[in-house]
Structure formats: C-alpha cells, structure tokens
Amino acid sequence: MNQDNKLVEGCKSGDPNAQIEVYRKYYRPIFNTCLRIICNHADAEDLMQNSFIDAFGKIKTYKGHGNFEGWLKKIAVNNCLDFLNKKKQIEKPTETLPDIPEPNGNQEDEFIEFQVEMIKNAMTKLHIDYRIVLSLYLFEGYDHEEIGQILKINQQNVRTRISRAKHSLLGIIKMQMTGTKSTVNLERN
C-alpha cells in the first residue's frame, strides 16, 4: 500500500494525524491551484481550507481510482468555480499571481523573471473565463474533455476558449511590450 493509500485509509477512519499529514503534503499545490484561478491571496487561502474540509467530508467517496492529488485539486477547482459564480466576478483582480524566487543575478535569469512577471501580469488582465480555462489547461494539466466536464461545456467550446484565451493573452503581452494602450478591449464582457 503506497503512502497516499495509507493516508486516505487513515482519513477514512477519522485519524486526525492522517488528516494533518494530507494537509501538510498537499496544501501548497492546492493553494497554488486556487490562487491561479482566483488571483486573490486571501480568497485562495480560504478556498484551499474549504477544499480540505470538503475533501475530508467526502473522503469515503474516494475509491482510489486515479491520483489522490488530482482528486483534491478537482475539489479545489470546483470550489473556485462555485466561488466565482456566487461572486459573479466581473472586475479585474487586483492581486497578481505568486512571486517567483529572486534571480541569481545573471542577465538570463533577470530576463526570464521579466518575462514571467509580464505573463503573470497579463494573466490577471484576462477575462475570468479565459483565465480559468488557461489555468486548467496550462497549469493544472487538464485535457479538453476534463475541462469540458468541469466547466459543463462541450469540448469544441473548450478548444475555442483556449484558442481565444491564448490570443487575448498574447495581445495583452504585446501591448505591455510596446507600452501602448489599445482602443480594443481584449477582455470579453
């Protein structure tokens, strides 16, 4: 029995030590998943906590099929989507994605940091639907079918949203690089 299976069995039997260990092992990736979708540190932290509470409440439904971390992330993603639906978030988020570690001081690291910051900034300017689909596809590794199931849309709509999101993201990055302000709104209303 692997470590995750032992922890899951411990959680199913109500062992608080197993729950603490699951939390310690997975809180960072679950938090990062929430933060990439929500783009607000405090809300992402709350959603991560709620996701663990939900997971421990539903742990008996986990049958061991698939990756346990993936099961936890799916709960977190659904909580984020529910949160956004309730909030009906239209305005742009004010916080950015997590910071990356400080560079070692060489020019290549500084250039990479500049590019990452530009992309993170551009991601926060995307319409929420685009940010969600890109986060699920690029960062969480879900395929078109899984994204369609999560968002309750067909695979063709997923492909279209991903394509439009990438196009919109590139447009925002180009505007940032040229320092111009476009009269065309890249966000979908």
Find tokens 């989507």 and name the residue: 81
Find tokens 């409440």 and name the residue: 57
pLDDT given for residue 185 in this prediction: 43
Domain boundaries, the chain: 1-89, 101-189
Q: Are 134 and 165 in contact (CB under 8 A)?
A: yes
* Residue 161, C-beta contacts closer than 8 angstroms, at least 6 positions apart: 129, 130, 133, 153
Domain 101-189, CATH class in plain words: mainly alpha
When the pLDDT of each residue in the chain is averaged and rounded to a whole number, the result is 83
The yes/no answer on whether domain 1-89 falls in CATH 2.30.40.10 is: no
The 10s digit of each residue's pLDDT in 15-24 is: 999 999 999 9
pLDDT given for residue 50 in this prediction: 97
pLDDT given for residue 89 in this prediction: 46
Residue 179, exposed/middle/buried by CB under 10 A (0-12, 13-18, 19+)? Answer: exposed
pLDDT given for residue 90 in this prediction: 45
Tell me the pTM. 0.69
pLDDT given for residue 18 in this prediction: 93
Rounded CA separation 78/151 (Å) = 9
Find tokens 């933060």 and name the residue: 35
pLDDT given for residue 167 in this prediction: 92
pLDDT given for residue 183 in this prediction: 41
Same fold yes or no, 1-89 and 101-189: no
pLDDT along the chain (189 residues), means of 10: 83 93 95 92 95 94 87 94 78 48 59 75 87 90 91 92 92 82 44
